[in-house]
Structure 1
Amino acid sequence: MTPELQRVAARGWGTHRTIGAAIRAADDGAVVSIQPGSYKESLVLDRDITVVAEKGRGTVRITAAHGPGVSVSAGHVVLRELEFEGSDAAEPVVLARGGSLELESCELSGGRLELARDSTAQVRGCTVHGAKRAGVHVTGTARGSFEDCTIRSVDGYGLTLVDTARADLRRTRVQRTTDCGVLLGGTSSATFDDCELAHTGDAALLVYAPAQPLLRGCRLHDTRAQGVRIEDAPGRPAPQPLHQAQPEEAGPEAGGEGASAGQDERRIRLDKCEIFRTQAEGVLVSGGSRVLLRDCDVREAHGAGLFAYGTARVELESVRIVDVPDTAVTVAESAQVRARNGVFSRTGTGGLLAQGDAVLELADCQVAATGHSAVQLAGNARAVLVDCTVADSAQHGIRLSGGADLLAERTRIERTKLAGVLVDGADAVLRDCVISEAETGVRLDTRHRPLLDGCEFRAIRRTGIEVAADTAALIRGGQVAGTGSAGVFLEERSQAWIEEMEISDTQGSGLVLWTGSAPRIRAVTVTGAGKNGVYVHEGGAGILEDCEISGSAFPAVYTGPKSAPVLRRLLVHDVQEDLSAAEDAEAVFEDCWVRDVSVSTLPQAEEEPSAGAVAVAGGGPVRRKLASDQGSSEKNGAEEGVTEDQLPELLAELEALVGLDRVKQEVGSLAKVMQMVKRRQEAGLQPPPLSRHLVFAGNPGTGKTTVARLYGRLLAALGLLARGHLVEADRGSLVGEYVGHTAPKTTAIFRRALGGVLFIDEAYALVPYAQSTDFGHEAIATLVKLMEDHRDEVVVIAAGYPTDMQRFIDSNPGLASRFTRTLTFDDYSSDELVEIVRYQAARHQYQVPDETLAALVEYFDGIERTEHFGNGRTARQVFQRMTEQHAQRVAELLDPGTDDLTIVRPQDLPPRTAV
């Protein structure tokens, strides 16, 4: 049915002279066709009607007489190809307060388009300009759709949405506004597809959360403030943590037209958008806002590319932030930013900065070409980097300070002017990371215990790994290759645990142990060092086990004055010289093996090192001792098969130990009780209640480890343990470096001891004074449960100073019920120390005449028995120094006889200060 037509013209027969008259005469659904001209009217439309320019766009201009030029309150109204001019730029020129409005190819000037109450509007191909306050204002529950429109030259906001209003914009431009381009407030929502927000006096987009925009394929640029600014609305509830599960497609996305039903969280989203040439931050997020940027490009922002603070939660997926004079991303206060597949490059200062209690999570991201440190954490900030690349930093690759915490996995850090990673007072865990072409690979200077697990350091201009003074660290696996200085440098009083690492092609020494350092180093290989393989500075110490040194330009090992390292099962090969020792060095070498060495002061064992030992002190000759030496150290691991037939032999071996009368009596009694237990079990009788776990209380060097090894073999001979082997542990091997690491670490070493003895040396270190939150308590709790679960499969022996072991027992109620017997290891008397020396001499084919034995008694009587007294260890050191003094004396004889070569005299005793 053809709609009724009403025509409007300034003159002519059959036409209305005013638009208002035509509308009043028209029925519902009629079309009002307007001839070219200018009309000064204010139209009120409340039913279905269409008003069009008969000759097309640009021919009809309607100037408001008063108030809005058009007011729509009901019905379906269509306005096509008309120009509307308002009477007041701060008021609406077209106002819809109800009904449905269609605006097609119209131009609105001198006032805004306002959609209010429950009105709906479809606006296509229209232009709004010359308004004040806002170009388009959508409020109440109104709904608006804008397609191919332009909002420009507005003295205020381009578009505002408040209350619960909703708008959908496609291919629409908002330009040249004195305030923000778009403002969303209340709980309004909007979608922007292929839109442009540009040349704004404030932010291109301002969102007061929980308003919820979705931008897809939009361009926001040339702003006098941020590209996007998101602020929290007053009274919003506290946000949930970022790591909680979230809908994969949260946001107004169902078909691109609305939010998902039942959605747990409202998020502001930008997909495939460009933000550039902003006078402040590219994106600023505050409060508790939730924001997702996906496939976006932020560049040429005057401030940070992204700045999040408060309790904001921001997710970045495939986001590129480049060419900013500030940081690419700054996260402050309690905000959290999670990024995946991102690129953050060419920044004037840092790449990523997290401070306060902020959280930063990166996966598969690249941070490159930064003016300061690429990633910087301060305060109590936490960061996680997984499969990332950090490159071309003008300062550090990653810098941590204060109480910050870093976890980096499979991350590459390369081409940094300073350190690849600098840990300054903070905590860090690096796993399977690669650091190359840095000034220093990693520098650790902290009260925490950082972990480097399986990391590689390549082409480092100075030191591969530096552990600063008074710093503890755990370095496990990995390699250091090609450094301009040392491979690993352990500074004053540092305490590092290093195991299963390869160090090669260093221009300096492979391992440097400085004054007061006391590391535990196991299974480390040093190859091709430009200086020493291992360099121990004056006063350095530590234990190195199962290490290998080859191809060093200087002697494989250097021990400086008063240094006292212990090197066990050391293999040295293919070097010019194996050892250079200062005159008063006190190094001890055990179970060493030398091969293809031009100048050797270490004897070459007939077979690979397993039982022999070498003791070295000063510049004197080197002598071997045998594995059966009193108190010698043996490898952990399974003993040879032990049978009950060997029980008398084992008891005799126990009885042959020097001193330890009370201990030998109690262990012998325990063996008899255990033998009775086995007989009762074989007879089908219930065994008596008995705990096999023991506490060994005694000072260093009193034979605790030796007795523990014998105790395990005794139980194995009785059939009460499957193997009877000894596994040694201490705090470093039981306690983890971060939350969740201790229990698995304790469990792993406990399982190694199944069938044998777990010997925990210095067990009291698991409960440091005044540290109730220390991870040692977790290790103890794990041990108590494992001891209960495997009570017939393992024996646990806790050892330490007598005065400290009660603190260990009192730390957990389960310990007191499991450790019911304490064996006290008394200090050796002078006569017993002399007997140890005599035993050592016999094993090494030396003779000690009576006058030397008497001198030894007097010598030991004169040694002050402080807490540093080494007991049996002191006796062995005295014998070692005696052999060196003897060697120097005999070397001056022209033709020494057999007695000269074997008899040690009183004059061979060393000064007491040398022991």
Structure 2
Amino acid sequence: MDRPNRIGDDPRTTRWGHSNAMAQGTVQVTHTGTSRWRRRTGEYASLAAALEAAADGDVLTVAPGTYRENLVVQRAVTLRGPEGAQGSVRIAPADGVPLTVRASAVIQDLHVEGQDAAAPAVLVEDGTPELLGLRVVARSASGIEVRGSARPTVRRCTVDNPAGAGIAVLDGGGGVFEECEVVAAGQAGVAVRSGAHPRLERCRVHHAAGSGLTATGEGSALEAVGCEVYEVRGSGVQVTGRATAHLTDCDVHRTTGDGVTLDTDAVLTLADCRIHDIPENAVDLRSRSVLTLTRTSVRQFGRNGLSVWDPGTRVDANQCEIFDSTGDYPAVWVSDGATAVLDSCRVHDVPDALFVLDRGSRADVVDSDLSQVRNTAVSVSDGATAQLDDCRIRDAATGAWFRDHGSGGTLNNCTLDGNRTGVIVTKGADPTIERCTVDSPSEAGVYVS
């Protein structure tokens, strides 16, 4: 016996109240149930009618055409376009959310268009659905939005949304985004907030009017592996308000603002990343933020490579390289009570390598190379402290300069080679120099005044 195909008194209206009158094409439902009263296949004139008739496990194959419907997927079905005709099915209602997913469904090879600036184009609210090969072209609040208990897998999807965020993960939402691309966004390319925690793998984010990747708020956590962020007007990566992020093997380049920005108790780890071609600071952190860099390169920056400010703010860099400055600023700037640790790092081809300023500011540099420095390799002033152990400083105008009263620290077992002046101590500064070698200065080995 065939299952009844009645959706309500008015066949043009779905159970959710959305009009089907402008739908084009047909939808074939392949039923997988074994109940005798269910037929194995059926064709429906609208997507909403097909979704109403389908049960968990059914496959809905959508004929090419434009469907002016607001879809709500509430069962674990497969909803897909025709094989080999990706993009031929357009979901394009006049307003509202074009596609809402509330179940562990599979949504594949659809073109979704959103026109409502107050709503997302694709909204995932529950379940562990798979979104595969979607193209989202919208002028919406967000292209793809994930919230609450939803944990989708989003693979090979493209988002073009010049009116809002590209991808937004909110309110504890999560999920994995694989090989996705945000080609344009009017705000952040990927926004994570309110305790959300997505993972991005091999994604590209570019041409965003805001930051490329942003994580905000306590409990929010962003993980990105093998991703690329470029051509964004804000920071490439922004982490603020007690949020955390972990980036591995990522590229951040060609931003208009800073490459990476941390503020207000943010925590970020960069491992095997590359930050380059940045007109401002490559990395800027403030207000008790903590940054850990491992095997990461920073090059071609217009201001500071690392800019570290405020008490409680700390950067730890291990086996990193900072080089090829394009501006006239120190490669590493530590001030206002901040702390920087450089371990087994290389800083070269820069105007100045390390500036430490202000009482309470401190830099610890271990087994590192500072070379090809146009001006001063290490400058300590205004009551700051710098400790260098087993370091090599060469080819600088000045190797280390302790500038004024209260500024100090230690040079221990360091080699200063080929500098114009090895060490300068002025205006009552009081460093300790132990077991150091000053070789081939063109002016003075140690100058005290």
TM-score, normalised via structure 2 length:
0.84
**Pairing partner for 1:331 from 308, 324, 336:** 308
- Is 1:321 aligned to 2:298, yes or no? yes
- Is 1:144 aligned to 2:152, yes or no? yes
In structure 1, what residue type is equivalent to 2:308?
V
Cα separation, partners in 2 of 1:21 and 1:416, compared to 1, 3 Å: closer
Which has the larger helix fraction? Answer: 1
> Which residue does the alignment assign to 1:94?
99
Secondary structure of the residue aligned to 1:142 is coil
- Is 1:158 aligned to 2:166, yes or no? yes
> Which residue does the alignment assign to 2:393?
413
**Alpha-carbon displacement from aligned partner over 1:647-706 (angstroms, at most 9, x marks no partner):** xxxxxxxxxxxxxxxxxxxxxxxxxxxxxxxxxxxxxxxxxxxxxxxxxxxxxxxxxxxx
Secondary structure of the residue aligned to 1:331 is strand
- Is 1:168 aligned to 2:176, yes or no? yes
Secondary structure of the residue aligned to 1:200 is coil
Cα separation, partners in 2 of 1:88 and 1:22, compared to 1, 3 Å: closer
Distance 1:21 1:415 in 2: 74
Distance 1:271 1:321 in 2: 14
Distance 1:63 1:369 in 2: 58
- Is 1:295 aligned to 2:272, yes or no? yes
Cα separation, partners in 2 of 1:104 and 1:24, compared to 1, 3 Å: closer
Does the 8 Å contact 1:20/1:43 carry over to 2?
Answer: no
- Where in structure 1 are there 5+ consecutive unaligned residues? 7-16, 234-265, 469-915
The structural deviation recorded for 1:207 is 0.7
The structural deviation recorded for 1:99 is 2.1
Cα separation, partners in 2 of 1:444 and 1:25, compared to 1, 3 Å: closer
Does the 8 Å contact 2:98/2:112 carry over to 1?
Answer: yes
**Alpha-carbon displacement from aligned partner over 1:417-443 (angstroms, at most 9, x marks no partner):** 3x1101112112011111122221101
> Which residue does the alignment assign to 1:79?
79
> Which residue does the alignment assign to 2:321?
343
Does the 8 Å contact 2:342/2:365 carry over to 1?
Answer: yes
In structure 2, what residue type is equivalent to 1:287?
T
Does the 8 Å contact 1:129/1:152 carry over to 2?
Answer: yes
**Alpha-carbon displacement from aligned partner over 1:736-760 (angstroms, at most 9, x marks no partner):** xxxxxxxxxxxxxxxxxxxxxxxxx
Distance 2:106 2:191 in 1: 23
- Is 1:278 aligned to 2:255, yes or no? yes
The structural deviation recorded for 1:27 is 8.2
TM-score, normalised via structure 1 length:
0.42
**Pairing partner for 1:107 from 111, 114, 118:** 111
Distance 2:49 2:279 in 1: 46
Does the 8 Å contact 1:86/1:92 carry over to 2?
Answer: no
Tell which structure's C-alpha radius of gyration is larger: 1
Cα separation, partners in 2 of 1:391 and 1:99, compared to 1, 3 Å: same
Secondary structure of the residue aligned to 2:188 is coil
> Which residue does the alignment assign to 1:878?
none
Distance 2:246 2:240 in 1: 14
In structure 2, what residue type is equivalent to 1:421?
A
- Where in structure 2 are there 5+ consecutive unaligned residues? 6-20, 83-88, 116-120
Distance 2:26 2:79 in 1: 16
**Relative contact order (alpha carbons < 8 A, sep ≥ 6): 1 or 2 greater?**
2
- Is 1:211 aligned to 2:199, yes or no? no
Does the 8 Å contact 2:128/2:151 carry over to 1?
Answer: yes
- Is 1:306 aligned to 2:283, yes or no? yes
Secondary structure of the residue aligned to 2:175 is strand
1:593-742 alignment runs, 5 A limit: none
In structure 1, what residue type is equivalent to 2:412?
R
> Which residue does the alignment assign to 1:222?
231
Cα separation, partners in 2 of 1:267 and 1:176, compared to 1, 3 Å: closer
> Which residue does the alignment assign to 1:375?
354
> Which residue does the alignment assign to 1:567?
none
> Which residue does the alignment assign to 2:409?
428
In structure 2, what residue type is equivalent to 1:103?
I
> Which residue does the alignment assign to 2:334?
354
Distance 1:379 1:441 in 2: 23
Cα separation, partners in 2 of 1:392 and 1:195, compared to 1, 3 Å: same
Cα separation, partners in 2 of 1:171 and 1:179, compared to 1, 3 Å: same
> Which residue does the alignment assign to 2:15?
none
**Alpha-carbon displacement from aligned partner over 1:46-100 (angstroms, at most 9, x marks no partner):** 842321136xxxx233222xxx2x1123x212111272433246x321012x322
> Which residue does the alignment assign to 1:268?
245
In structure 2, what residue type is equivalent to 1:86?
A
> Which residue does the alignment assign to 2:384?
404
The structural deviation recorded for 1:141 is 1.4
In structure 1, what residue type is equivalent to 2:258?
E
Give the percent of matched residue pairs that are identical in Structure 1 and Structure 2: 17
Does the 8 Å contact 1:41/1:62 carry over to 2?
Answer: no
Does the 8 Å contact 1:202/1:223 carry over to 2?
Answer: yes
